[in-house]
Structure 1
Amino acid sequence: MKFSENWLREWVDPGVDRETLCRRLDMIGLEVESVAELGAGLDHVVVAQIVSAERHPEADRLQVCQVDTGHGSVQIVCGAPNARAGLKAPLAQIGAALPNGMAIKAARLRGVESQGMLCSARELGLDQDATGLMELPDDAPVGTPLARYLALPDASIELGLTPNRADCLGLRGVAYDVAASFGRQVAMPAIEPVAAAHDSQRGVRLDAPAQCPRYCGRVVSGIDARARTPVWMAERLRRGGIRPISIAVDITAYVMLELGQPMHAFDQARLQGDIHVRAARAGEKITLLDGREVEVDEGFLVVADDGGAVALAGIMGGLDSRVTDDTVDVFLESAHFVPSAITGRARRLGMHTDASHRFERGVDPELPRLAIERATALLTAIAGGQPGPVVEAVSASHLPNRAPVALRRARIGRLLGVEVADADVERVLSTLGMSVAADGDGWLVTPPSWRFDIAIEEDLIEEVARIHGYDRIPTRAPAGELAPALPGEGRLADSRLRSTLAARGWLEALTFAFVDGTLLDRWLLSGPRVELANPLSAELAVMRPSLLPGLVQALAYNRARQQDRVRLFELGRSFHQKTDNFSGEIDQLALVMAGPADAEQWGAARRPADFHDLKGDLEALIALGGDGRRWQFEPAADVPWLHPGRSARVLRDGVVVGFAGALHPAVQKALDLGSDPVHVAEIELDALRQARVPAATGLSRFPQVRRDIAVLVSDAVAYSALQGAVREAVGELLEDLVVFDEYRGKGLPDGLKSIAMGLILRNPSRTLTDEDADQAVASAVQALNKAFQAELRG
Structure 2
Amino acid sequence: MRAPLSWLREYVDLPAGVTGRDVAARLIAAGLEVETVEQLGADITGPLVVGRVLAIEELTEFKKPIRYCQVDVGTANGTGQPQNIVCGATNFRVGDKVVVVLPGGVLPGGFEISARKTYGRVSEGMICSARELGLGDDHGGILVLPPEHEAGTDAIELLELVDEVLDIAVTTNRGYCLSMRGIARETATAFGLPLRDPALLDVPAPNDSGYPAEVADPAACDRLVVRTVGGLRPEAHSPIWLQRRLQKAGMRPISLAVDITNYVMLEIGQPLHAYDRARLSGPIGVRRARPGEKLTTLDGAARALDPEDLVITDGNGPIGLAGVMGGADTEIADATEEPLVGQAQGTTDIVLEIAHFDPVSVARTARRHKLASEAARRFERGVDPQAAAAAGQRAVDLLVLLAGGKADPGVTEVAADRAARAIVIPADHPDRVAGVTYGRETVVRRLQEIGCDVTGTDELTVTVPSWRPDLTDPNDLAEEVIRLEGYEALPATLPRPPAGRGLTERQRLHRRVGRALVGAGYVEALNYPFVGPAALDALGLPADDARRRVVRLVNPLSDEAPALRTTLLPGLLEALRRNHGRGSQELALFETGLVFRPTGNEAAPARLPVTVRPSDEEIAGLNATLPQQPRRVATVLAGAREPAGWWGPGRLADWADAVESARTVARQAGVELIVENDRHAPWHPGRCAALFVVVDGTKTLVGHAGELHPRVIKALGLPAGTCAMEADLDLLGRAATGPLSAPSISSFPVATQDVALVVDAAVPAAEVEAALRSGAGELLESLRLFDVFTGEQVGPGRKSLAYALRFRAPDRTLTAEEATAAREAAVAAAVERTGAVLRG
Shorter-normalised TM-score: what interval? 0.7 to 0.9
Rounded to whole Å, the distance in 2 between the matches of 1:695 and 1:648 is 21
Deviation larger for 163-172 or 635-644: 635-644
User: Which residue number in structure 1 is paired with residue 394 of structure 2?
Assistant: 374
* Structural mapping, 1:747-762, within 5 Å: none
Query: Is residue 51 from structure 1 mapped to residue 54 from structure 2 by the alignment?
Result: yes
Match of 2:374 among 312, 337, 354: 354
* Structural mapping, 1:413-428, within 5 Å: 413-420=431-438, 422-428=440-446
User: Which residue number in structure 1 is paired with residue 421 of structure 2?
Assistant: 402
User: Which residue number in structure 2 is paired with residue 387 of structure 1?
Assistant: 408
Question: Matched residue of 1:175: which SS?
Answer: helix
Query: Is residue 193 from structure 1 mapped to residue 203 from structure 2 by the alignment?
Result: yes
Shift of 1:319: 1.4
- Counterpart of 2:455, as a letter, is A
User: Which residue number in structure 2 is paired with residue 526 of structure 1?
Assistant: 548
Q: Identify if the C-alpha distance between structure 1 residues 552 and 649 changes in structure 2 by more than 3 Å, giving closer, same or farther.
A: farther
Size of the alignment, in residue pairs?
Answer: 685
Q: Identify if the C-alpha distance between structure 1 residues 543 and 199 changes in structure 2 by more than 3 Å, giving closer, same or farther.
A: same
Shift of 1:334: 1.6
Question: Matched residue of 1:219: which SS?
Answer: strand
Question: Matched residue of 2:402: which SS?
Answer: helix
Q: Is the 8 A contact 1:53 1:83 kept in 2?
A: no
**Which whole-Å deviations, capped at 9, do the CAs of 1:368-403 have from their partners, x for residues lacking one?**
22212221222223220332533333344xx69633
Match of 2:461 among 417, 440, 444: 444
Q: Identify if the C-alpha distance between structure 1 residues 104 and 185 changes in structure 2 by more than 3 Å, giving closer, same or farther.
A: same
User: Which residue number in structure 2 is paired with residue 128 of structure 1?
Assistant: 137
Q: Is the 8 A contact 1:225 1:246 kept in 2?
A: no
Q: Identify if the C-alpha distance between structure 1 residues 274 and 496 changes in structure 2 by more than 3 Å, giving closer, same or farther.
A: same
Question: Matched residue of 2:422: which SS?
Answer: coil
Match of 2:571 among 550, 573, 581: 550
- Counterpart of 1:355, as a letter, is A
User: Which residue number in structure 1 is paired with residue 604 of structure 2?
Assistant: 581
User: Which residue number in structure 1 is paired with residue 622 of structure 2?
Assistant: none
Shift of 1:168: 0.6
Query: Is residue 75 from structure 1 mapped to residue 118 from structure 2 by the alignment?
Result: no
Q: Identify if the C-alpha distance between structure 1 residues 558 and 114 changes in structure 2 by more than 3 Å, giving closer, same or farther.
A: closer
User: Which residue number in structure 1 is paired with residue 216 of structure 2?
Assistant: 206
Shift of 1:493: 3.8
Q: Is the 8 A contact 2:666 2:732 kept in 1?
A: no
Shift of 1:177: 0.5
User: Which residue number in structure 2 is paired with residue 739 of structure 1?
Assistant: none
Question: Matched residue of 1:63: which SS?
Answer: strand
Q: Identify if the C-alpha distance between structure 1 residues 551 and 157 changes in structure 2 by more than 3 Å, giving closer, same or farther.
A: closer
Deviation larger for 643-652 or 195-204: 643-652
Rounded to whole Å, the distance in 2 between the matches of 1:196 and 1:414 is 46
Identity across the alignment (%): 35
Q: Identify if the C-alpha distance between structure 1 residues 518 and 211 changes in structure 2 by more than 3 Å, giving closer, same or farther.
A: farther
Q: Is the 8 A contact 1:552 1:592 kept in 2?
A: no
Rounded to whole Å, the distance in 2 between the matches of 1:54 and 1:68 is 15
Shift of 1:571: 1.5
Q: Identify if the C-alpha distance between structure 1 residues 493 and 152 changes in structure 2 by more than 3 Å, giving closer, same or farther.
A: same
Q: Identify if the C-alpha distance between structure 1 residues 324 and 534 changes in structure 2 by more than 3 Å, giving closer, same or farther.
A: farther
Give the alignment's TM-score, normalised by structure 1: 0.73
- Counterpart of 1:252, as a letter, is T
- Counterpart of 2:84, as a letter, is I
Question: Matched residue of 1:11: which SS?
Answer: coil
Rounded to whole Å, the distance in 2 between the matches of 1:636 and 1:281 is 62
* Structural mapping, 1:34-49, within 5 Å: 34-38=37-41, 41=44, 43-49=46-52
Q: Is the 8 A contact 2:509 2:669 kept in 1?
A: no
Rounded to whole Å, the distance in 2 between the matches of 1:619 and 1:613 is 10
Rounded to whole Å, the distance in 2 between the matches of 1:502 and 1:187 is 64
- Counterpart of 2:23, as a letter, is L
Q: Any gaps of 5 or more consecutive residues in structure 2?
A: 335-345, 542-546, 606-625, 742-840
Question: Matched residue of 1:459: which SS?
Answer: helix
Match of 1:23 among 6, 22, 25: 25
Q: Is the 8 A contact 1:204 1:391 kept in 2?
A: no
Give the alignment's TM-score, normalised by structure 2: 0.70
**Which whole-Å deviations, capped at 9, do the CAs of 1:294-318 have from their partners, x for residues lacking one?**
3343453332334333222222212
- Counterpart of 2:445, as a letter, is R
Q: Is the 8 A contact 1:252 1:265 kept in 2?
A: yes
Match of 1:265 among 258, 274, 277: 274
* Structural mapping, 1:84-483, within 5 Å: 84-150=93-159, 153-189=162-198, 190-194=200-204, 199=209, 201-207=211-217, 209-281=218-290, 284-325=293-334, 326-343=346-363, 345-347=365-367, 349-383=369-403, 384-387=405-408, 389-396=410-417, 402-406=421-425, 408-409=427-428, 411-420=429-438, 422-440=440-458, 443-471=460-488, 473=489, 476-478=492-494, 483=499
Rounded to whole Å, the distance in 1 between the matches of 2:280 and 2:359 is 27
- Counterpart of 1:522, as a letter, is A
- Counterpart of 1:248, as a letter, is A
- Counterpart of 2:730, as a letter, is L
Query: Is residue 512 from structure 1 mapped to residue 528 from structure 2 by the alignment?
Result: yes
Shift of 1:690: 8.4
User: Which residue number in structure 1 is paired with residue 621 of structure 2?
Assistant: none
- Counterpart of 1:317, as a letter, is G
Q: Is the 8 A contact 1:286 1:295 kept in 2?
A: yes
Shift of 1:494: 2.1
Shift of 1:5: 1.1
**Which whole-Å deviations, capped at 9, do the CAs of 1:278-305 have from their partners, x for residues lacking one?**
3345564322212223334345333233
Q: Is the 8 A contact 1:168 1:174 kept in 2?
A: yes
Query: Is residue 683 from structure 1 mapped to residue 728 from structure 2 by the alignment?
Result: yes
Shift of 1:514: 3.6
- Counterpart of 2:408, as a letter, is P
Rounded to whole Å, the distance in 1 between the matches of 2:250 and 2:576 is 53
- Counterpart of 1:257, as a letter, is L
**Which whole-Å deviations, capped at 9, do the CAs of 1:245-287 have from their partners, x for residues lacking one?**
1111011100111011111112222233343433345564322
Rounded to whole Å, the distance in 1 between the matches of 2:35 and 2:581 is 50
Question: Matched residue of 1:41: which SS?
Answer: coil
Q: Is the 8 A contact 1:34 1:157 kept in 2?
A: yes
Q: Is the 8 A contact 2:225 2:414 kept in 1?
A: yes
Q: Identify if the C-alpha distance between structure 1 residues 657 and 486 changes in structure 2 by more than 3 Å, giving closer, same or farther.
A: farther
Rounded to whole Å, the distance in 2 between the matches of 1:660 and 1:418 is 58
CA RMSD of aligned residues (A): 4.5
Q: Any gaps of 5 or more consecutive residues in structure 1?
A: 697-794
Question: Matched residue of 1:10: which SS?
Answer: coil
Rounded to whole Å, the distance in 1 between the matches of 2:160 and 2:586 is 76
Q: Identify if the C-alpha distance between structure 1 residues 271 and 459 changes in structure 2 by more than 3 Å, giving closer, same or farther.
A: same
Q: Is the 8 A contact 2:693 2:701 kept in 1?
A: yes
Match of 1:486 among 471, 486, 502: 502
